Amino acid sequence: MPTKTYQIGVEATMEVIGGKWKSIILCHLRQKAMRTSELERAIPQISQKMLVQQLRELEAANIVTRHVYQQVPPRVDYSLTDYGHSLSGVLHDLCVWGEENIDRRREQGEAITLLHRDDL
Amino acid sequence: MPTKTYQIGVEATMEVIGGKWKSIILCHLRQKAMRTSELERAIPQISQKMLVQQLRELEAANIVTRHVYQQVPPRVDYSLTDYGHSLSGVLHDLCVWGEENIDRRREQGEAITLLHRDDL
DNA sequence: TGGGATACCCACTAAAAAGTAAGTATGGAT
DNA sequence: ATCCATACTTACTTTTTAGTGGGTATCCCA
């Protein structure tokens, strides 16, 4: 099998948290374990397919775990693994930088809104 | 014009540093100003088109500046703006987390290599 | 006169990511 | 029997992102 090669560490990080949805999902899970329907409500624009697909990829990367409760109707929840928690600081900083970026752009006259701040 | 709305700060951050190339370019520029050809050498897989395109987008977001020297043959270099430097901590953490991720995966038997570490 | 060096730009194509809309399974409640 | 809720799948389409291969401009130098 061919050796996977990275030039620089950030490439590997972006494989894990990059894309449109992963970092958003992780920022939510950073705060608490959440069930599927809860994540759907927290991220209204995401489709069910994308949510599930991204969660599977995060599971495969050992960042989140899936916990199935033996119930009907089904109940499943997702939380960060210990390893996933090692991203917590980065995720928080990404949120904060974005909040500042939005404030800045608004001050410069851009019509822009942020619904939820990451207050921790 | 319609108001741009974000749910959470990280969305705005990812608009700036997301995608396959931007974070890599920024990690390099974090260390020093670099000319086009230097960036091409530092990021061997990138095409000229992508490099220029990403640099233009980073300029538009006020993260990098383009400096043209009046010379023939042309000489241009790029560096982080003051605002771009506000990403420096995040970028460093992204590099470091990725380096650890790669180490971890190698320990678990994956065939994987990292060429350049971010030693600062 | 024509090649070299640098930093582009443009048109076209290919591949990857994301979106849409529908369907499946379970078992309890009505 | 039928319906409900939850958590998925699957097939298909659209959009976005990235890659390829070419071309332009400048001025110096042989």
What tens-digit pLDDT sequence spans chain A (120 residues)? 678 999 999 999 999 999 999 999 999 999 999 999 999 999 999 999 999 999 999 999 999 999 999 998 899 999 999 999 999 999 999 999 999 999 999 999 999 999 999 876
State how far the Cα of A63 lies from the Cα of A84, in Å rounded to an integer.
4
Q: Does domain B9-107 have CATH number 3.30.2350.10?
A: no
User: Which residues, 6+ apart, have CB-to-CB distance to A28 below 8 Å?
Assistant: A34, A39, A42, A43, B8
Distance, Å, B108 CA → D9 C1':
31
Other CB atoms closer than 10 Å to residue A39's CB: what's the count? 20
Two structure tokens written together for B112: 């994987």
State how far the Cα of B114 lies from the Cα of B111, in Å rounded to an integer.
11
pTM equals 0.95
Two structure tokens written together for A69: 């409760």
Q: How many residues does chain A have?
A: 120
Where are the domains positioned within chain A? 9-107
Mutate which: B3, B5, B7, B103, vs A, most A CBs within 10 A: B7
Two structure tokens written together for B47: 């095409």
Two structure tokens written together for B70: 């009046």
Contact B7, A27 (CB under 8 A): no
